[in-house]
Structure 1
């Protein structure tokens, strides 16, 4: 299964990974591809990759989920990251035509880092 490593630099960060995903698709791929992040404190979604919107998404997740006050924090102090990642979800499935994600004009595949900085592994499964 093709994978790509993506490094992040912030605790809560949204990063466009469309190019990295596209590079893993066979040139003749047609159908769909599932993009899955193999971590419990990161998520994947599809939305616009405009820089202010990416910041707005980070701010929204930060506002929805408080940083502290969670029972799991007694173990490794990152319960907020787990909850934020659950809200986003671990995968997306996108249509693929001629080896390219067949996204809308403003759509991109986004990695949502909730416990960075880290290096994350994304699996790309063309079907």
Structure 2
């Protein structure tokens, strides 16, 4: 049994969903694990991770718009230390995921044909994000 761990650093250029599949796949390929399980965890509370449609840009836009409607920016939140997008970013993170588990086979992630891994940046002023990665297998 082998295991590898590391940190992927990602900076999103704007609020929204950003495809990071290639960066994750590159990290997995460099670990020398053929069969196993990859765990990704974003080390922030105002950003998240998703596995979602990666072929149709409209699907990404619809999801971004839905998140904005369900957790709109507002000065009505008590927690607004960093501005009106602070608490909505936390709410959007709760609605999505902070951890993903992905099977690895033949040294590659077993994502579906139309699946991609996204960093969901919920803040208007993006900053560097750390994603902890752990791969366990043989």
What TM-score do you get using the length of structure 1 for normalisation? 0.91
Counterpart CA distance in 2 for 1:63 and 1:76 is: 20
Deviation at 1:28, TM superposition (A): 2.9
Q: 1:87 aligns with which of 91, 95, 102?
A: 95
Counterpart CA distance in 2 for 1:56 and 1:23 is: 28
Q: In the alignment, which residue of structure 2 is the partner of 1:9?
A: 13
Counterpart CA distance in 2 for 1:92 and 1:8 is: 19
> Structure 1 runs of 4+ off > 3 angstroms?
none
> What whole-Å deviation, never above 9, does each CA across 1:60-95 have from its counterpart, x for those lacking one?
10010120111101x222111111111112111011
Q: 1:56 aligns with which of 54, 57, 62?
A: 62
What TM-score do you get using the length of structure 2 for normalisation? 0.84
* Number of residue pairs aligned between Structure 1 and Structure 2: 125
Counterpart CA distance in 2 for 1:29 and 1:20 is: 18
Aligned CA RMSD, in angstroms, stands at 1.2
Q: In the alignment, which residue of structure 1 is the partner of 2:77?
A: 70
Contact 1:27 / 1:98 at 8 angstroms: preserved in 2?
A: no
